[in-house]
Amino acid sequence: MPTSTRVAEAAPPRRRRFWSFVVVLVILAALAGLAWYLTHRPAPDGGGQGRPGAAGPGGSAGARGTPPSTVGVATARHADIPIYIDALGTVTSPATVAVAPQVSGVITEVLYKEGELVHKGQVLATIDPHPFEIALDQATGARTRDDAQLDAARVQLERYQKLLAQDSIARQTVDTQAALVKQLIGTVALDRANEASARLNLQWSKIVAPVDGRVGLRTIDPGNYIAAGNATGVATITRISPIDVEFAVPQERIPEIRSRVGSGAALPVTAWDSTRSRELESGSFLTLDNQIDTQTGTIKAKARFDNRDGALYPNQFVNVRMLLRTVDGAVVVPVTALRHGPGGDFVYVVNSDHTVKLTDVTAGVAGVADVVITKGLALGEVVVTEGGDRLKDGATIRTAPAK
């Protein structure tokens, strides 16, 4: 084939490759331009930076060309704010007594029912009294015998003293008789003590409740021998009315609690169930412990409850709420109105033209639903409570309809 013919046939493929390369370059340039635009386009808020709520040019919610945000509002008002201390507490009994016998013997009767309420002095069980009755009879007999001997010795001493006055008897005889009288006086005193001891042992054969309270499960049955001072005893009594609750208080609260108690103020305390949905009993603060727990930085406190209905049970876990004090007549707003930024606390105040103003405030103590504003907000001003996350300073808003 001639050379000119081969050159003519090779030219078109070269042109096609050239134009394909040009097309690829154009596509790559377009993609690079799009990427540059996406990474360098202006921010929606106009590039404004700073504390939350700072408005950029045309970037605030509710600005020209954008619909106003719907928010919830509330009016700053006067209110009394209670200051509470909340803690987890444990119900404890003022007195838990294991009733042990003071004499040994065989149990003849158990006179209580498990779980019943008993009163101080009530007989719970009896020990066979016969050995103690016999011992009392012996002590009484010995005391009667020695009383008679003492009377006879005294009569004899009086006779000897008369004879001595007549110089009809030796003084040694009188002195001996006088010593005998003193000896018998001591013997009678010992007999009386033995008699009282025997009578006391007989009395102790009836085991009685030393305190009011609820008796536990039976620990012994009739027919069993029990020794004096037995650790298990015949019953365990737990006092349940009144009853105490122990809970922990932060050490920072100690000065205020002591100041309130020192001024004679009663600190009301309520006990709630584990879900905080039901109040079990109301009482009052009783005392603080004498040392702080170094591991937790808290101190134990105790409150006392009448517990007449038995709602509190020993070793029960309860939620405790103690009213420490009440802030009277404070300017308050809902807790949801208070916002936090790098510059501190602030609220959005609603202006008369339906715009909002970012206002710096100083927050005080907070209650369950309201917070005290000590500075920066006047009584009657309207603040945003819901929807504030979408707002900027100067934004236009509309209020949500009341539910």
pLDDT of res. 43: 45
pLDDT of res. 234: 94
Is domain 101-237 given the CATH code 1.10.579.10 in the classification? no
Which residue ranges make up each domain of the chain? 84-94+245-327, 101-237
pLDDT of res. 104: 96
pLDDT of res. 364: 85
Residues 349-376 have pLDDT tens digits of: 999 898 999 999 999 887 778 889 989 9
pLDDT of res. 39: 61
User: Taking a C-beta distance cutoff of 8 angstroms, is the pair 208, 235 a contact?
Assistant: no
Give per-residue burial for 13-26: e unless 16+ CB within 10 Å, then b: eeeeeeeeeeeeee
User: Taking a C-beta distance cutoff of 8 angstroms, is the pair 379, 77 a contact?
Assistant: yes
Joined together, the tokens standing for residue 81 give 């704010």
Number of H helices, E strands in the chain: 4, 22
**59 pLDDT higher than 70:** no
Question: Which CATH superfamily does the domain covering 84-94+245-327 fall into?
Answer: Efflux pump adaptor protein, beta barrel domain (2.40.30.170)
- Region 216-229: what's the mean pLDDT? 93
**Backbone dihedral angles phi then psi of residue 352, each to the nearest 5 degrees:** -70, -20
pLDDT of res. 49: 37
**List of residues 6+ apart from 59 with CB closer than 8 A:** 43, 44, 45, 46, 48, 392
**Backbone dihedral angles phi then psi of residue 17, each to the nearest 5 degrees:** -65, -35
Percent of the chain scoring above 70 in pLDDT: 87
pLDDT of res. 41: 57
If pLDDT is split at 50, 70 and 90, which confidence band does 2 have? very low
d(Cα 23, Cα 27) in Å, to the nearest integer?
6
Residues 158-182 have pLDDT tens digits of: 999 999 888 888 999 999 999 999 9
Which helix (H) or strand (E) segment is 357 a member of?
A: strand 356-360
| 84-94+245-327 and 101-237 in the same fold | no
Looking up tokens 């050379």 gives 3
User: Taking a C-beta distance cutoff of 8 angstroms, is the pair 319, 89 a contact?
Assistant: yes
d(Cα 119, Cα 210) in Å, to the nearest integer?
8
What size, in residues, is the chain? 403
The pLDDT mean for the chain works out to 86
